[in-house]
A and B are shown apart, each in its own frame.
Chain A
Amino acid sequence: MTSTSPTPAAAGHGVAVVFEEMHRWYGPVHALDGLSIDIAPGELIALLGPSGCGKTTALRALGGLDVVDQGRILVDGKDMTTVPANKRNMGIVFQAYSLFPNMTARDNVAYGLRLRGVDADARKKKADDMLDLVGLGKQTTRYPHQMSGGQQQRVALARALAIEPKVLLLDEPLSALDAKVRRQLREEIRRIQIMVGITTLFVTHDQEEALAMGDRVGVMSQGRLEQIAAPAELYDKPKTRFVAEFVGLTNRIDGTVEAGRINLLGTSLPLLPGSATSGHATALVRPESIRLAAQTGSGARVAAISFLGSMCRVQAAMPSGEILIAQMAASDFVSLQPGTEVSVSFLPAPVFAIAD
């Protein structure tokens, strides 16, 4: 699967997509609560959130598989809100098992072309090209049940792209796959997406996936968009408590807020906008912002160390019994062992604090 880099099917014709104040109710459940997003041409937006947050509803609304009760969907400036799914020209890759089981890989990919009246030779060629693009040039006559989950999702991607859709919609396409295949395929999808230049909406509950793939990542909760930003910004500068807690691993440490800063275990750290403004508060601190150094008499002890390749993750038990998780380059932890007494300090990065 290493890049044979075939020629892109259609380069750089991405269109803009706009969600405008979308609302959707399922009975009493408010699945979309005024969702608005502007997606730039060619951009990949990852929608991230826990199950039931409305991300899939948003994707299905864009694909025409679900309706919105209020609001509009604009694609390339045109209002698509009420256009039926089969007239929208959107390529959708579903979670799993969406390939037609009675058709070979080639017939699956050619299906959309057949519906468009493309003649047999042309659609065979196009289907084979698309399968080539996803690295399955030699498996064109296999049936879905003869392929692995990863291969099936590649075919699904080829099928979605074969119709040269305006927008590519990915509905948790990797969630049913093994961790290794998953990582490999997500890089592959991203590479193809950039090469084709297609505007893409990617829905996932896996934050690592969202941060790795998105040009921007939108975090959703209860039908609302909490924050949409580039991955690094989202990670470093969460705007809301939900984002701070949901994205990345966080330690919760008690401190006191004063004049825009928080005092944690004797260290004063700057606060992110939206944090608590005074009094006792809980700071949400990333493991990589915590430094541990061997020091006798400090009261905290190393409880466990896990080796993550180039990184190490250390659990330290505080005198209060709480556990802090710190992460650093493996070389910085050589002196530590379970039981070692350590001192705790923080990098001076701003943190998010919640009022108690």
Chain B
Amino acid sequence: MTQLVTRSASPSATAAGPASSGAGASRFRGAGNYLALIPFHVYVGLFLVLPTLIVTIGSFQDQAGSLTLDNFKAMFTNEQFIGSFMKSLQLALITAILGAIVGGLLAWAVVRGNPNGILRQLVIAACGVLAQFGGVMLAFAFFATFGFNGLITMFLKNNLGMAADGSWLYSLAGLAVVYTYFQIPLMLIVFLPSLDGLRQEWYDASASLGGGAWSFWRNVGGPILAPSFLGALLLLFTNAFSAYATAQAVISQGCALITQQIACQMQSEVILGQENVGKALALGMIVIVSAVMAVYAYIQRRASRWVK
């Protein structure tokens, strides 16, 4: 035993010499490793962090650049601003819930099919397009369907003799329908991996222990999917809350939603002379979205704790 100890000790003792002389070099090399990341950090700093700082600092400044809370006072007292926030939150919440439920069911249907089937890949690719790259184009898709001259509107008018004019599409309700149209595919994209993570073994084990479908979903499948489902719901929420393009294309007049309100402030800031109110509104959005994303990140961590 003693011999073992001395034998294992001696090599490390001899190694100590060169190691200590090389310590400076390795410290230098360590720093060099970090230097290689500088371009990335500079870039992100310039085009992401700096704009965010400009928004944050600007929202606490008046036109002359001195410190003030007037912008926030305006934000919390002006009914137009509060109304925009409320409309955006409502729209985001409703379309997120609708999208999560319907998209979740759609994802379930897809996951039960052949995992390598061409149908699955088609659906995923289509959902990817509709969920993430739509914006203005999706608005036009709905104009072509439900707009004044849209396919369905014309059909109702000409074939069923109904007095359809499609004007509902250009309202908040219409916007909700269009939003749900991209929320459903987004839900599918976000939720599909969690459903894929559900193992057949769990269902089989539950069955062999005497559990039916209901026992499995109540005790095993439901609790396992719950965090992912909730996380996906939050993601859908921020997605709708942050959306501008679709809203602007559907309701081009006015400043209904908060994103439109910010755009209005930005375009009219010189005239109104309240340059930085838009920045305060933008900061308000950051706060809301960051809070939701923080909850999302926490839930994701919990979800991934169980599955691998």
A92 touches B210 (CB 8 A): no
Task: Tell which of A65, A96, A112 touches B209, judged by Cβ atoms closer than 8 Å.
Answer: A112
Q: Is the interface of B mostly helix, strand, loop or mixed?
A: helix
B44 contact set on A, CB distance < 8 A = none
Distance of A89 Cα from B209 Cα, bound (Å): 7
Distance of A89 Cα from B199 Cα, bound (Å): 21
The reply to whether the CB of A214 lies closer than 8 angstroms to some CB of chain B is no
CB nearest neighbor in B for A89: B210
User: Range of interface residues on chain B?
Assistant: 20 to 34
Min CB distance A83 to B, Å, is 12
A98 touches B202 (CB 8 A): yes
B306 touches A94 (CB 8 A): no
Min CB distance B157 to A, Å, is 51
Task: Tell which of A64, A92, A101, A156 touches B224, judged by Cβ atoms closer than 8 Å.
Answer: A101
The reply to whether the CB of A88 lies closer than 8 angstroms to some CB of chain B is yes
| Count of CB-CB pairs between chains A and B under 8 Å | 79
The reply to whether the CB of A86 lies closer than 8 angstroms to some CB of chain B is yes
A89 contact set on B, CB distance < 8 A = 210
The reply to whether the CB of A225 lies closer than 8 angstroms to some CB of chain B is no
Residues 264-308 of B, flagged 1 when their CB comes within 8 A of A and 0 if not, give 000000000000000000000000000000000000000001111
B205 touches A92 (CB 8 A): yes
B205 contact set on A, CB distance < 8 A = 92, 94, 98-100, 156, 159
CB nearest neighbor in A for B204: A65
A114 contact set on B, CB distance < 8 A = 219
Distance of A8 Cα from B139 Cα, bound (Å): 69
Residues 206-222 of B, flagged 1 when their CB comes within 8 A of A and 0 if not, give 11111110010001100
**Using a CB–CB distance below 8 Å, which chain A residues touch chain B?**
63-65, 84-92, 94-103, 111-112, 114-116, 143, 145, 156, 159-160, 163, 169
A-B residue pairs, 9 tightest by C-beta:
A112-B209, A101-B306, A98-B201, A85-B207, A92-B208, A115-B210, A102-B223, A98-B205, A94-B201
CB-defined A-B contacts under 8 Å, sample of 21: A65-B204, A65-B207, A65-B208, A86-B207, A86-B208, A87-B210, A88-B208, A92-B208, A94-B205, A100-B205, A100-B219, A100-B224, A101-B224, A101-B306, A102-B220, A112-B211, A115-B211, A116-B210, A145-B305, A145-B308, A160-B209
Apart from A65-B204, A65-B208, A159-B205, what 19 extra A-B contacts exist at CB < 8 Å?
A65-B207, A90-B208, A91-B209, A92-B205, A94-B205, A98-B199, A98-B202, A98-B205, A100-B206, A100-B220, A102-B223, A111-B209, A111-B219, A112-B209, A112-B210, A115-B215, A145-B308, A156-B205, A163-B210
